[in-house]
Amino acid sequence: MIELNRAAKPYQEIEEFADYELTQCIAYEMAVRNPKYKQQVDEVVAFYNANKALIDKHIESCNSEHSVFIKEDLDNGTFQAAIEKHSILVQQIDAIEVIPFDGYDHGVGFRQIEIFGKEFYEIIDQLTGRYNPNGTTLQKRGEVELVNQSSLDAICIYKRQKREGYNIVTEVSAGDEIAFVPLGEDDSRRVETIDEFYQYLNREDCDIADVMPKIFIRENFKRPLIKVDNLKALAAEIELDLSRPLDELVAYITHIKQDIDKNKKVLKAPIELFGEELQKADDILRMCTETKNGKEICFDGRKGITRTQKLADMFFIYDAVKQGAKELRIRTALSEYYGTIGKKTDMSDKTFRKYRDIAIDYIEKERYKELITGVKS
């Protein structure tokens, strides 16, 4: 008999999603359940297993100070074959929208092992050597790195401060114009402090006209950001003075959002500039689908529990149905779970079917992308 555990970690994590990250995290939970990604992962694992010796040798060579390939490997084509096999594997992984491969060098830690399997993530760990040789990064947190090149076209201070929901990245660079700084073999060194950075800039042979400080705030949610069609996304960079009062900042963002929603001509998605018309999609607050009879049904739920608990129930229902569990047994498991946490909430057969059908529609027809882009697929 299939074990149905609504108290399992994946569903508890969904309950803990914060309001500011809900859309991205729910979209990710939907995306990783799409059957096509399981097929892609299976193909990646099969390709890796078939070419494991060559790929591992290439990774070992990249992570060591000296190449592990010998002259015979060059003569018989083993070296080139290893590079090609590794390149194909990287491309296969990079094509999987729900695997933020480029982000792994920044320490993306969440892993859906329950869905994709431990073996796949062991491959990911090995492939991070492509970005992160020997387990270290080029720039350690809070340090300044001078790159040893024949000419230095940029010098920067790079600092990452991880916060709940976002990262703060501070960068001080040598202006927008390319600045050339001659470096000898012994001239490249690590600079530990901002004072040393300015001392270096003030050298006579340092031809830099301006220094530009920048601060970036980047999303850092409980789930990775999934790749979507950026041509359809209605995105804009907004400069904010965070020293202003909170209510004023909230009012300002609200004003911008409301103005853009009222007047679609104010801001266009990139693809709209080429004449394509886009239709606004439902958002996380109103996920709807149509029944076989053409009737629209929308996600709502029962009283007495939070929105994230309802969403966790929706994913639990979807997973259980896909495992072959019957409706009555799933509803019983839900009632028992809420009984253990001291809440009384009943799910009708109508609500059950609503949750199930909306989950199937958004997951298997890739409508989760609509939540991110804001437009219908």
Output the six-digit token pair for 10.
Answer: 């994946």
Assess whether pLDDT exceeds 80 at residue 208.
no
Count of all residues that appear for the chain in the document: 377
> Considering only 16-25, 81-90, 177-186, which range has the smallest mean pLDDT?
177-186
The pTM of this model reads 0.74
Where are the domains positioned within the chain? 1-30+228-234+269-377, 35-97+99-135, 144-220
- Which of 254, 205, 257 minimizes the C-alpha distance to 236? 257
DSSP string, 50-114: HTHHHHHHHHHHHHSSS----HHHHHTTHHHHHHHHHHHHHHHHHT-TT--GGGGGGT-----HH
Q: How far apart are CA 173 and CA 156, in angstroms?
A: 4
Q: How far is CA 207 from the centre of its chain?
A: 39
Only one residue has tokens 């299939």, namely: 2
Mean of all residue pLDDT scores within the chain: 75
Q: Residue 16 to residues 12, 306, 368: CA-CA distances in angstroms?
A: 7, 10, 20
26: number of Cβ within 10 Å:
22
Max mean pLDDT among 55-64, 147-156, 269-278, 312-321 falls in 312-321
Instruction: With beta carbons less than 8 A apart as the criterion, state whether 310 and 303 touch.
Output: no
Q: How confident is the model at residue 211 (pLDDT cuts 50, 70, 90)?
A: low
Q: Which residue has the higher pLDDT, 306 or 201?
A: 306
